[in-house]
Amino acid sequence: MPTAIDLAYVMYQAPDLDKMEAFMHDFGLLTAGRTDDVLFLRGGGTAPVVHVTYRGDSKFIGGALLMSGREDLDALAEMEGSGPVEAITDMPGGGWRVRMNHPDGLIIDAVWGQTPTQPVEHRPSNSFNWGDRKERLNRSLRPRREPGLALKLGHFVLKIRNHDQSVKWMKDRFNMLESDTMIVPEINKAVGTFIRFNLGDQPVDHHSILINEASEVGCHHCAFEMQDFDAVMGAHDYLVSRDHHLDIGVGRHLIGSQIFDYWRDPFGNRVEHYTDGDVNNADYEGKDYLLDDKGPTKSQWGMDPTPEFFR
Ligand SMILES: [Fe+2]
């Protein structure tokens, strides 16, 4: 079965690439390439591109996953809704891809063979003097209010029309595993499933994609991992000082446990900084969470999502 091993990039359309680029530099991404019609952004890791914006009316186009081998692309090209295996000549990093049409009209690319880029040098994670264990002796912390550096694309959340169909679509193509599931108790129906990569014993993020049933197709948010809590908070204060639009944050999610901070880009797209999320291997058996008043959408601490967050 074709197996995805990581996320590659997300793709949007927006009418003003200068505005997107300026915001994303404040947010913690770097320009990897730019023409009049397309903006490629990278994070601090080895991925040559993590966020793509084409010039046009504002919308979400789709996302991309990295595959474990070239033979995965050959297998995917045979599946319903797939294009052929093609060389990537229009993005930094090159490689090959199969472009797939998701049943709800989103584009999902499967990518293999990109040339990794040089990681950006950044500070090591800050040590922490825990209540019962001290890591820092005779040393002080001096975190700064600064853009920070988004290290990698960690997950994206698809809003789709048919939850069960989309979860199956992703599992069939990418060999992904179900982490936790959100259930509407009145009708005992699953409406949201967090899915992760299947790398056997190796730990992976609790979710790299969340499939959410919704009336409108699109992307609820895409999320980028930051080095540590200081990086999230330093970036938070910096984004406030730059008058950007805070969505919700800072808080700690229940499902996945991330410390989160959500912002809106200039076109209203929700983008998240996070740190300290759960990691799981293939042994993890997911849980069902009932979407009731005390349910999983409340934060464990910090700011709770507003009603708008669920629209
Ligand atoms: Fe998230």
Taking residues 84-113, report their average pLDDT. Answer: 98
Task: Say how many Å lie between the CA of residue 277 and the centre of ligand 1.
Answer: 10
Q: Which residue has the tokens 């849980």?
A: 287
Query: 274 C-alpha to center of ligand 1: Å?
Result: 8
Return mean pLDDT, the chain: 97
pLDDT tens column, 279-300: 999 999 999 999 986 678 889 9
224 pLDDT above the threshold of 70: yes
Q: Where are the domains of the chain?
A: 4-115+149-310
Output the CA–CA distances (angstroms, integers) from residue 56 to 10, 61, 63, 124, 175, in the order listed: 16, 11, 17, 39, 33
pLDDT band per the 50, 70, 90 thresholds, residue 62: very high
Architecture of domain 4-115+149-310: Roll (3.10)
Q: Using the mean position of ligand 1's atoms as its centre, give its distance from the Cα of residue 139 in Å.
A: 33
In the chain, % of residues over pLDDT 70: 99
> By the 8 A CB rule, do 207 and 307 touch?
no
In 3D space, the residue among 191, 4, 19, 166 whose CA is nearest the CA of residue 97 turns out to be 4
Q: How many angstroms separate the alpha carbon of residue 214 from the centre of ligand 1?
A: 16
pLDDT value for 294: 67
Mean pLDDT for the stretch of residues 246-271:
97
- Residue 308 clears pLDDT 90, i.e. is over it: no
The pLDDT value given to residue 297: 83
> Does residue 28 contact residue 42 with C-beta atoms inside 8 Å?
no
Query: Taking the alpha carbons of 32, 204, 3, 223 in that order, is the dihedral positive or negative?
Result: negative
Residue 310 has pLDDT above 90, yes or no: no
Q: Global pTM?
A: 0.97
Distance 154 CA to ligand 1 centre (A): 8
CA of 211 to the centre of ligand 1 (A): 12
Average pLDDT in the 239-258 region? 97
